[in-house]
């Protein structure tokens, strides 16, 4: 028996006559049928417009009358957590919270899940990395510098003092007159990007609501078709049943299509980070992408992942065979004198030819970072292709190499003497000696030929041209290059 709608249902029981028995007297049962109640959950609180890391948000909710509790949960636990009806914000990003209410069969259906989305921000900090003159001299200038937060916006400088004392142009402070000069450093938020992102979210939410409404309609049509099929199965011709089953399949296809559109109404980043640029507008279609190092304007949305940086450079075709994935890289950012450590992660398989010169692209991942790193900053990278420690070395100028081999001049009883040596690793200043020398021997690093000047009194300190060796020493240590 199928219960199909509101009203009184009367069930009759009959038994026909036969085998000497009269027909049985009909018996009936009557009972009332009601439609299940669809519960509705709704948020009664408005999320904060600028949620901050470490802050909280008290959520207000209303639900159905089944008596079951409304369950609040976070689907982005790395960004926010939920305890009861209090949401706590953990890091920069987007927090998604959901509200559900379970069914209470047979009278109450489960509520349709509701969701709120909250953008989480953090406070940027500015640190001066330049020291002002003490005292400043009128007429002079001072180059001010500072590190800012991770928004990617530049740190700007201005003077809070009268123009008779000092003015600021870019990062140059002009000291004009006597007094106290106060320089302010500011960094703007990602206002434009956030506005564009908010507009895109509003459009996406509108599309999401429309898709959800279409999905609910399609589900209702599917439910009605199933009910009609169930009530007509016992009395409907086979051809009509086939038509109804075809209609159910069409309705199911519509449900699947609407569900797919609903799933595609949300743009999701494959990584956690900070939105730096939004290069799309509301209503524009986008396709799936990924991470990369191309021009930022070529991506729909640019997300930077704080604390994860890579540097890309080139090496010549004469050097590429010395480079291998996993080698140590020392990276010095522009404006810094401290090198950061990294590892080579990729080497292009083919050369890039420009003006007849072949180069290969090498990518390195930084293994430690500092506040001096900003996305897009230039840097100098040195790849360590070989490194030896606790070895005997001499200055590179002390070694003379010909087709016959390498030699070094040492002092023996005050006179230079040439010895044959075997060399190993080297860098621009020192070279490893594998054999031929001993620790603490004195070596000749240069020969100077010149006329020795006389003194003011005319006494000769040296005559004519001559040669003299500049002394160096063998020492233990390490070298790399």
Q: What is the per-residue pLDDT for 74? A: 96
Please tell me the predicted confidence (pLDDT) of residue 480: 57
* Per-residue pLDDT at 171: 95
Q: Give the pLDDT score at 54.
A: 92
C-alpha span between 253 and 218 (Å, rounded): 9
Is the separation of the CB atoms in 158 and 184 below 8 Å?
yes
The whole-number pLDDT of residue 465 equals: 33
Total-model pTM: 0.36
What is the full DSSP assignment across 318-368? TTGGG--TT-EEEEEETT----EEEEEEEE-SS-EEETTEEEEEEEEEESS
Q: What is the mean pLDDT of each run of 10 residues along the chain (481 residues)?
A: 79 89 89 84 94 94 92 95 96 94 90 94 88 93 89 89 96 95 86 59 68 77 71 64 83 87 76 79 70 61 76 91 91 84 92 93 82 76 85 93 94 91 88 93 80 48 35 58 58
Rounded distance between C-alpha atoms, residue 317 and residue 274, angstroms? 38
In this prediction, residue 460 carries a pLDDT of 31
- 225-234 as b/e, with b when 16 or more CB fall inside 10 Å? beeebeeeee
User: How high is the pLDDT of residue 469?
Assistant: 41
Residues 336-371 as b or e (16 or more Cβ within 10 Å = b): beeebebebeeeeeeeeeeeeeebbbbbbebeebee
Residue 281: the pLDDT is 80
The answer to whether the beta carbons of residues 159 and 166 sit under 8 Å apart is yes
């Amino acid at each position: 028996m199928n219960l199909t709608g509101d009203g009184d249902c009367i069930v009759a029981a009959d038994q026909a006559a036969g085998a000497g028995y009269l027909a049985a007297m009909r018996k009936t049962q009557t009972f009332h049928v009601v439609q299940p109640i669809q519960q509705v959950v709704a948020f009664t609180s408005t999320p904060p417009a600028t949620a901050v890391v470490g802050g909280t948000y008290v959520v207000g909710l209303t639900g159905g009358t089944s008596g079951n509790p409304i369950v609040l949960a976070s689907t982005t636990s790395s960004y926010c957590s939920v305890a009861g009806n209090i949401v706590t914000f953990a890091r920069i990003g987007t927090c998604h919270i959901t509200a559900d209410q379970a069914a209470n069969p047979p009278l109450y259906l489960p509520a349709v899940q509701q969701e709120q989305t909250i953008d989480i921000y953090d406070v940027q900090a500015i640190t001066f990395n330049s020291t002002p003159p003490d005292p400043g001299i009128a007429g002079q200038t001072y180059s001010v510098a500072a590190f800012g937060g991770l928004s990617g916006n530049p740190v700007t400088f201005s003077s809070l003092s009268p123009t008779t004392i000092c003015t600021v142009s870019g990062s140059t402070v002009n000291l004009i007159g006597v007094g106290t000069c106060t320089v302010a450093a500011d960094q703007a938020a990602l206002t434009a990007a956030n506005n564009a992102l908010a507009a895109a979210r509003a459009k996406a939410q509108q599309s999401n609501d429309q898709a959800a409404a279409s999905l609910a309609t399609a589900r209702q049509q599917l439910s009605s078709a199933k009910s009609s099929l169930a009530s007509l199965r016992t009395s409907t011709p086979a051809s009509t049943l086939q038509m109804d089953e075809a209609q159910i399949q069409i309705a199911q296809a519509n449900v699947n299509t609407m569900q797919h559109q609903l799933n595609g109404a949300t743009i999701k980043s494959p990584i956690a980070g900070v939105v730096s640029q939004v290069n799309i507008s509301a209503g524009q279609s986008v396709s799936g992408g990924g991470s990369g190092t191309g021009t930022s304007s070529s991506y729909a949305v640019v997300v930077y992942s704080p604390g994860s940086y890579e540097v890309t450079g080139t090496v010549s075709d004469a050097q590429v065979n010395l480079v291998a994935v996993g080698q140590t890289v020392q990276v010095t950012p522009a404006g810094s004198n401290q090198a950061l450590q990294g590892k080579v992660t990729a080497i292009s398989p083919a050369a890039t030819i420009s003006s007849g010169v072949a180069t290969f692209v090498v990518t390195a991942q930084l293994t430690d970072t500092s506040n001096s790193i900003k996305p897009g900053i230039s840097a100098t990278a040195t790849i360590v292709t070989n490194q030896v420690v606790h070895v005997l070395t001499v200055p590179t100028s002390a070694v003379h190499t010909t087709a016959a081999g390498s030699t070094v001049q040492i002092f023996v009883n005050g006179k230079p003497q040439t010895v044959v040596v075997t060399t190993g690793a080297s860098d621009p200043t020192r070279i490893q000696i594998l054999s031929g020398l001993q620790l603490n021997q004195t070596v000749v690093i240069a020969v100077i030929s010149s006329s020795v000047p006389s003194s003011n009194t005319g006494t000769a300190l040296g005559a004519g041209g001559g040669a003299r060796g500049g002394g160096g020493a063998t020492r233990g240590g390490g070298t790399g290059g």
